[in-house]
Structure formats: structure tokens, C-alpha cells
Amino acid sequence: MITITQDMLHYWKVVRPLLSIRSERDYDRGIEQLNALIDEMGTDENHPLSDLLDILGVVIRAYEEKHQPIPKSSGAQVLRFLMEQHGLTQADLPEIGSQGVVSEILSGKRELNVRQVRALAKRFHVSPAAFI
């Protein structure tokens, strides 16, 4: 049996605003926090806050799906759109890998991994959930 302690209540008061997105204001704050976490963590998948980043991404995505529905798109489709919007070529994305890796992702032969998603989210200032 789990006993609720004062420590749990204290930490929940700190974490709850991150995980309770019920308005556009909460959403904007969540995106800011997500970007701050990405900036802090970089590409370190073993960072102590990586689970928080993942959970926050899920909460943000749930809010987006309910309040800002976007047609279903694959990570490759989102990447292709962002590349077009920013006038980028496959060679302009070294954070993903070689031009061949980018080509395989865009053609659907390869999926984006966690490191690549985080790097793209940081580069384009979007939620990592956009690529999932």
C-alpha cells in the first residue's frame, strides 16, 4: 500500500502545473517548459529529466489533439513540410545524420529516433510530439 506523504504533496504542487494543460495559457507554458527541457538536455537520452520530457510531450500532444486537431501526419511528412517552409535540403540537416539517412527517413524506409526527434524539435521550435 502506498502512503501519501507530505513530500509527495509538496512535489506534486511543483509538477502539477507542467502536467495539467487545460487552457491555451497552460499549453503555452507547457511548450515553453518543453523547450527549456530540450535546451537543458540536448541529445542526452540518459538525462535525469528525460522521463519528464517524454511525459510532458504526451500531455501536450493530448491537448493538441483535442483542441488543435491536425490531420494525421507521419514524422517524415512533418519534416518534409518544415524543410519546405525553411527552404532546406537534405544536406542541411546534419543533426539527423547523413544525407542518405535523411533520404531514408523522408522516403519512409527509416523512422526518426528519439535523438533525432529532440534535435528537430529544438531546431524548428516545435513540440517533439509533432514528429511522433
| CATH assignment at residue 119 | 1.10.260.40
Percent of the chain whose predicted confidence (pLDDT) is above 90: 48
CA pair distance 130, 80, nearest whole angstrom: 12
Domain check: are 11 and 62 in the same one? yes
Query: 84 with 108, same domain?
Result: yes
19 and 62 part of one domain: yes
Say which residues have a Cβ less than 8 Å from residue 44's Cβ, sequence separation at least 6. 50
> How many other β-carbons are positioned within 10 Å of the β-carbon of residue 100?
10
pLDDT of residue 101: 94
This prediction has a pTM of 0.51
The answer, yes or no, to whether residue 18 has pLDDT greater than 90, is: no
Q: What range defines the domain where residue 113 resides?
A: 75-131
98, 72, 33, 120: CA torsion to nearest 10:
10
- Average pLDDT of the chain, as a whole number: 89
Domain boundary among the residues 67, 88, 116 is at 67
Overall domain count for the chain: 2
Model confidence at 130, in pLDDT bands (50, 70, 90)? Answer: confident
